[in-house]
Structures are given as structure tokens and as C-alpha cells.
Structure 1
Amino acid sequence: MRIGEVAAASGVTTKALRFYEERGLLPQADRATNGYRDYPEDTIVRLEFIRRSQVAGLTLAEILDILQIRDAGTAPCGHVRDQLAEHLTNLDRHIAELTALRETVAGLHGTAAAADPAQCNAEVICSYL
């Protein structure tokens, strides 16, 4: 398949395909006699995996690790499980941090909404913060 055909079939831009190839996420495409890239049919499956992995929050480096494990002939299931567990831990921590931040901002907003701007102390720049 030519690069344009792969792009159309996968919803990935030709620029992204070249980038993925440069980064090793896609194997180097064979070249036709005219120099055009010639991707195998299974490229679409690989691109779908990359997209699903990105939706799950994996970085391209993490995705590359998984692909390299699979390309070496080993099922990456254990590695993927560990990656997802790490992402869950990070997400839970981030959610807790955002929840605390929201409470702080809501409190500051409540104070600002109830305050009289005429009583503002110019020496502290803004007493709401």
C-alpha cells in the first residue's frame, strides 16, 4: 500500500506515518522502483494499535517498547499490564492533586466574590491570592 492509501485507510496523516517510521513505531517501508513507500497490509493493524494506546494515555516511547516486545516474538501482555497499572496510579495521584487544587481555587473564588474591591490593600497586590 502506498503512503496515501495507508493514511486514508487509517485516518493518520502521511506526515505522522513518516514520523512513526522515523521513530521505529512502523518498520521501514519497502520502496517501489519509483521510490514510493510500499507498506504491507498489516500496517493498518499496527496503526490502530498505536491509536488505541495513545487514547489509553501511553507515550510513543511506551508504545515503542510494547511493539518491540511483540516484534521480538513475545506477547507483551505482562508489560502492558504493568504500564497500565503505573498509569492508573499516576492518574489517581493527578486526580487527587486536581481535586485539592479545585478546592483551593473555589475557596479563593468564594472570598473574592464576597469581598468589596474598595477595601483592596494595594500593598499586597491582590488580597484574594
Structure 2
Amino acid sequence: MAHSAAHSAAHPVEAPSRPAGRMLKIGQLAECSGLTIRNLRFYADAGVFGELPRSLKGYRLFPPEAIHWVGILRTAQAAGFSLEEIQELLRALRLNQVPCGHVREALGSKLSALEAKLAEIKVLADILRAALGTPDGQSSPVGCNIMETLLSEASRLPKLSETKH
């Protein structure tokens, strides 16, 4: 029993009361994965998990590897992958047809987009710091000195044509 408890602590996504290899109901997957039942229903209805069997009472049943699918889904979603891109990745995973080159290319593209967004956020943070460092007053042509700083710093922002539409 102590081994089981230690194993559960080391692998928190695994449900301690669920025997290995047994199908999961949506509530069990929610508990194991950290997603809500509502979110899981949305993804299941969108086809992200493929065709799911149902119990005799009509409950969706998820295979044990769905815990891993949800982990990939959450990471991919946070990285900016679209629902369609996530569906494609998970479909390939379910079919054991994951070409690493394709995954590497997709991840590289998302990393580039995230790094560009991070650079943009850093510029925006610098602009706000500069504005906050401006003393109060009404001596500028636009009135508030802080607003004048925002206006003068606007040239540091990327052009609209350079950003995602």
C-alpha cells in the first residue's frame, strides 16, 4: 500500500483508485487531468479525442491514454495551437503516426510566434514604465504629461502590417 501511495504522489495525473488499463468516465478523466467536465465534453464533441465508446448507460468512455492526450492538449493550447492543429496532432498520436519532423516544425513555428509576442510585450512594458515614470502635469500639447509620453513612445510599437491580423 505504501508503494501505491508513493507512486500516486510521484505521478499525480494517475488516479490512485483506477486499475491500469480500465476505461475512464468523464468525471474520472476530469479529476486526473485538471480539466473540467464541461471542457472535456467540448473537446469530445469537437472530435479531439476521436470516436469514443459509450457505456451501456450512455456515458462517454475514455481510454487510459486520454490522460496523456489531455496533457498534450493543454500544453499545445497554451502555446497557441488552434483547435484544428490540436486535433491533427492528437489524431496522429492516437493512430501511432506521429512524424517527429512534422511535430518539430509545428513546435518551431509556435515558438517563433511566442518569442515575437514576448518581444512585443516587453516593448509594451517598457512604454508603460516610461509613462509611469513621467511626472504629473499639464505642460504638454495633449494636456497630461503622461499621455504625451505614451504618444511619443507609440513609434516603438510594431506596425499593424507586421503583426498578426
- The TM-score normalised by the length of structure 2 is 0.61
Judged with a 3 Å threshold, the aligned counterparts in structure 2 of structure 1 residues 123 and 72 are, in CA distance, closer, same or farther, namely same
CA shift for structure 1 position 18: 0.8
Alpha-carbon distance between aligned partners in 1 of 2:125 and 2:99, rounded to the nearest angstrom: 38
CA shift for structure 1 position 126: 2.3
Higher relative contact order (CA 8 A, sep 6+): 1
Unaligned 5+ residue runs, structure 2? 1-23, 148-165
Q: 1:88 aligns with which of 96, 111, 121?
A: 111
CA RMSD of aligned residues (A): 2.5
* Contact 2:49-2:91 at 8 Å conserved across structures: no
Judged with a 3 Å threshold, the aligned counterparts in structure 2 of structure 1 residues 18 and 90 are, in CA distance, closer, same or farther, namely same
Question: Aligned ranges for residues 27-106 of structure 1 at < 5 Å?
Answer: 27-106=50-129
User: Which moved further from structure 2: 80-89 or 52-61?
Assistant: 52-61
Unaligned 5+ residue runs, structure 1? none
Q: What number of residue pairs does the alignment pair up? A: 124
More helix by share: 1
- The TM-score normalised by the length of structure 1 is 0.74
CA shift for structure 1 position 21: 0.6
* Contact 1:66-1:79 at 8 Å conserved across structures: no
3-state SS of 1:128 partner: helix
Identical amino acids, percent of aligned pairs: 33
CA shift for structure 1 position 123: 7.0
